[in-house]
Amino acid sequence: MDLSRKLALLGVSVTFVCTEAYINSMLKQGFDAGGLPIRLHGLPDGLPQEKSITDSLENTHVSIRATENMGPALEELLNKLNMNEEGRVVCVVYDLLLWWVGRLGKELHIPAYIFNPMSSSFCSYVLLHIPVFVLQGRLPLGCQTDLSDKSNMFKIPDFPSLHVSEVPDISWDPNPVCPFDFIMRCATRWHDATGMLLNTVYELEKEVVDGLMEKAPELDIKAVGPILPASFLKGEMISDEASAVAESADVRRCFRWLDEQPAASVLYIAFGTIACLSEAQTQELAMGLEASKERFLWVMRIPDQQQKAGEERITRLLRSGFEERTAGRGMVLWELAPQRRILAHRAIAGFLTHCGWNSTLEALCKGVPMLCCPMFGDQGMNSKWVDEIAHTGKLLKREGDQVNGIVSRDEVERTTREVISTSSTLRSSAARIRDVACHAALDATGSSSKNLQAFVDTLSSRPIPA
């Protein structure tokens, strides 16, 4: 939706298409186009409500199968829109994982652009390198794979080498995220597209973006990120997050508490809307925070089975007395919170994160250093990028291996103190990256601003499909 708003601000009339369940969820949360030419349209996916909106890894396999069967419904919608007197469809922008839309665009003679919401490094790994590793017989990984083999390294151009234990979990068959053959369909059909919009800043992933352009010279590839609201990038009042979250009494209490803290003194902790820490990892994190003596705000996502336990959820996830012992310098919020508002707050000094790309970009654009604790998908590569390329954070070390290991309380204590420290070099690196990213997206001469405008200009200059 952030991309839809940016395009609408540039004069593009947008029809935002998703599953009926997701669109209904947006409407229930009070979606407001803010006067912009954005319409919502839901397509049926044939799934019950509880499986249609994916908020857990358990549902992703079901959702993938459903979306791959939605071609006829999307084709019917596009044909219907093209009969609309208000204007014909000049382009379809689709998620990288909806690999079949590019082929549909060709059949209907409608330009189709992939939107890659993840890092370009991860996108490059999926599209360029997984097929090569498969041909070499190195992927997919499986039960026979030896994670202890120190020599088993995957060399990726323009990215730090990955040990077999660091390779994204989508490289395994089976894996908890999606079927491996689905990844191969995405990796082999992206050339069906007319072009690709990358949610990154060219200056931050220059070599990777150039590599994609070199491998697909026929595609119009543009880095247009960070796809975030201008109000957030400018440091203005953040008002575009779900009102249901903003109105919570606990969230209001959270911001009152933040207002009382010194500048750059609080570690913000959150792991997104899907990932959940194990109880063992939760305990280690809590004990490390307590031992650090630093201020923290911990947004806790509670798994469904623990939500059903009611008030027992606190004692099950946190050792008895943790909140009392850390009262005053720490706060645990047992619900979703408006992350952008939190990251923009002057009290925030660091962000302990799963390193999903949206969270990574939000932290980068606020100049907030990160402690990276990846869970699945692209997060491991994002964390490696933050640590070894951008130098705006630290990848937390796990005891054992990076796949199944636990981040110890000692590691949490040490790195928390490091990121909060006023002498941390991470802060200056984060401030530098913030300036680069914000200039690219906000300034008319910035690379992302120019690329997004060029994309819009391309749409207006294309002949309308007959």
What does the DSSP assignment read for 288-351?
A: HHHHHT-EEEEEPPPPHHHHTTTTHHHHHHS-TTHHHHTBTTEEEE-S---HHHHHTSTTEEEE
- Residue 266 in contact with residue 349, Cβ under 8 Å? yes
- What pLDDT, on the 0 to 100 scale, is given for residue 244? 42
Q: How many CB atoms lie within 10 A of CB 153?
A: 13
Task: Kindly report which listed range (57-66, 115-124, 406-415) carries the lowest average pLDDT score.
Answer: 57-66
Which fold would CATH assign to domain 2-230+444-461? Rossmann fold (3.40.50)
Give residue 350's identity as a one-letter amino acid code. G
Q: Which CATH class is domain 238-436?
A: alpha beta
Q: What is the mean pLDDT of the chain?
A: 90
- What pLDDT, on the 0 to 100 scale, is given for residue 310? 46
Say whether 71 sits in a helix, a strand or coil: helix
270 - beta bridge partners?
353
Give the residue carrying structure tokens 């894996």. Answer: 175
Confidence of residue 266 (pLDDT cuts 50, 70, 90): very high
Q: What is the mean pLDDT of residues 364-375?
A: 97
- Within this chain, domains 2-230+444-461 and 238-436 share the same CATH topology: yes
Confidence of residue 276 (pLDDT cuts 50, 70, 90): confident
Boundaries of every domain in the chain: 2-230+444-461, 238-436
Q: Is the pLDDT of residue 202 over 50?
A: yes
Say whether 170 sits in a helix, a strand or coil: helix
Query: 313's torsion region: left (phi>0), alpha (psi -120 to 50) or beta?
Result: alpha
Taking the C-alpha atoms of residue 333 and residue 331, their distance in angstroms, rounded to an integer, is 6
Q: What is the mean pLDDT of residues 72-92?
A: 91
Q: How many angstroms separate the Cα of 18 from the Cα of each of 134, 273, 326?
A: 32, 19, 43
Q: What is the mean pLDDT of residues 436-451?
A: 95
- Residue 338 in contact with residue 238, Cβ under 8 Å? yes
Q: Tell me, what DSSP letter sits at residue 387?
A: I
Q: Tell me, what DSSP letter sits at residue 465?
A: P
- Residue 376 in contact with residue 272, Cβ under 8 Å? no
- CA nearest neighbour of 89 among 103, 74, 100: 74
Name the helix (H) or strand (E) containing 232: helix 230-234
Confidence of residue 49 (pLDDT cuts 50, 70, 90): low
Q: Is the pLDDT of residue 316 over 80?
A: no
Q: How many CB atoms lie within 10 A of CB 263?
A: 10
Q: Which positions ≥6 away from 365 have C-beta within 8 Å?
A: 226, 228, 232, 233, 434, 437, 438, 441
Strand segments (E) across 117-194: 153-156, 159-163
Q: What is the mean pLDDT of residues 277-292?
A: 94
Confidence of residue 308 (pLDDT cuts 50, 70, 90): very low
Q: Is the pLDDT of residue 254 over 50?
A: yes
| Model confidence pLDDT, tens digit, residues 6-28 | 999 999 999 999 999 889 989 99
| Model confidence pLDDT, tens digit, residues 178-195 | 999 999 999 999 999 999
What does the DSSP assignment read for 28-53?
A: HTT---TTSSEEEEEE--S--HHHHS
Tokens of 342: 């939190």
Q: What is the mean pLDDT of residues 207-230?
A: 97
Name the helix (H) or strand (E) containing 112: strand 112-116
Confidence of residue 347 (pLDDT cuts 50, 70, 90): very high
- What pLDDT, on the 0 to 100 scale, is given for residue 320? 74
Q: What is the mean pLDDT of residues 29-47?
A: 92
- What pLDDT, on the 0 to 100 scale, is given for residue 237? 64
- What pLDDT, on the 0 to 100 scale, is given for residue 303? 59
Q: Which positions ≥6 away from 236 have C-beta within 8 Å?
A: none
266-270 vs 348-353, strand pairing mode:
parallel
Q: Is the pLDDT of residue 318 over 70?
A: yes
- What pLDDT, on the 0 to 100 scale, is given for residue 309? 47
| Model confidence pLDDT, tens digit, residues 397-433 | 998 766 678 999 999 999 999 999 987 899 999 999 9
Confidence of residue 451 (pLDDT cuts 50, 70, 90): very high
Give residue 430's identity as a one-letter amino acid code. A
Q: How many CA atoms lie within 13 A of 279 on its CB side?
A: 9
